[in-house]
Amino acid sequence: MRKLFLMTVIILSAVSALALAQEKGLKKKRPLPHDYGKVVINNFSEKNRIAPVVFDHWLHRAKFTCRLCHTDIGFEMKAGATGIKAEDNANGLYCGTCHDGKRVFDDKVLFNVCDKAKRDEVCDRCHSFGKNSRHESKFSEFAGKMPRERFGNGIDWEKAEKDNLIKLTDFIDGVSINRKEMPVQKDFSLEAKVSGLPEIVFSHQKHTVWNGCEVCHPDIFTGVKKGITKYSMIEIFDGKFCGVCHGKVSFPTTDCQRCHVKPVS
């Protein structure tokens, strides 16, 4: 009996250690380019016997700013945190802000995301987890026309916007509010904490194109003055501060030379 008890303890300890090792201390699997930035939303789907929603950031990022969706429309920055319901969409909130069967974009009427009358026709367009999706082939076609990048989904979005290969919408009638633009702060450098590592050059100009000021301040970075908010690379790797976007949708933190660009003097 005692031997059986000891054997059980050993097995449970081994399983726990294996589970812990899978979370920490091992290199994570690098997602395929078309999967980078993909979000699976399953707050209510499987509870209602329907496949979870698959949201492809690249498909929307090619047309809209991050600020538009995460500030004007009101999507949370963390996957699943918004708690979207079909009733919300049907009432013109969240996805239903644009996907209402009426709004026109690129000369096309956007499909009604939660149209009960066409449930069999439209549900699978979003509730597609575990099903065949055409987005993979669409991504390959789209990415082939964009400037290349080493990491993430392989697209240099910054250059694509700068070269007018994509044109970003940052205003939706009836949702967005006309406001006076704030002056963009100058670029500044941040000293690296590791000796010999190039300093970071942070560009407000590059970030405000996509985020405005509101996406980052005050929720992610409380202070608006350089040096007020204290953070470390460990926290960024943990999905905080810069890591809220970088490593999930924006280029990952493995691309050190995108930030650490100023030579050590």
* Domain-located, residue 48: yes
* Domain-located, residue 15: no
**Domain limits at 98?**
33-143
Domain finish residue from 84, 116, 143: 143
Q: Categorize the per-residue pLDDT at 171 as very low, low, confident or very high, splitting at 50, 70 and 90.
A: very high
Mean model confidence pLDDT for the chain: 88
Q: Are 110 and 100 in contact (CB under 8 A)?
A: yes
46 and 138 both lie in a single domain:
yes
> Which two structure tokens, joined as six digits, stand for 210?
């996509």
Following CA atoms 131, 84, 42, 56 in sequence, which dihedral angle do they give, to the nearest 10 degrees? 50
* Domain-located, residue 214: yes
Q: Are 179 and 185 in contact (CB under 8 A)?
A: no
* Domain-located, residue 153: no
DSSP β-ladder status, 53-56 and 38-41? antiparallel
Whether residue 10 is predicted with pLDDT greater than 50 in this model: the reply is no
Instruction: Show the DSSP H helices in 129-232 as ranges.
Output: 135-143, 157-162, 204-211
Question: For position 265, what pLDDT does the model report?
Answer: 64
Residues 125-164: pLDDT tens digits?
A: 999 999 877 777 899 999 999 999 999 999 999 999 999 9
CATH number of the structural domain spanning residue 256: 3.90.10.10
Count: domains in the chain: 2
List the Cα angle 110/213/245 in 5-degree steps.
70
* Domain-located, residue 83: yes
Q: How far is CA 228 from CA 44, 71, 147, 222, in A?
A: 39, 23, 35, 8
* Domain-located, residue 265: yes
Domain finish residue from 143, 170, 198: 143
- The residues that bridge with 40 in the sheet, in sequence order, are 54
195 and 256 both lie in a single domain:
yes
Question: For position 102, what pLDDT does the model report?
Answer: 94
Whether residue 241 is predicted with pLDDT greater than 70 in this model: the reply is yes
Domain finish residue from 113, 128, 143: 143
This prediction has a pTM of: 0.85
| d(C-alpha 23, C-alpha 152), whole Å | 20
Instruction: Show the DSSP H helices in 135-248 as ranges.
Output: 135-143, 157-162, 204-211, 233-237
* Domain-located, residue 126: yes
188 and 117 both lie in a single domain:
no
201 and 105 both lie in a single domain:
no
Whether residue 251 is predicted with pLDDT greater than 90 in this model: the reply is yes
- Among 168, 205, 161, CA closest to 183: 205
* Domain-located, residue 16: no
Whether residue 17 is predicted with pLDDT greater than 60 in this model: the reply is no
Q: Are 253 and 236 in contact (CB under 8 A)?
A: yes
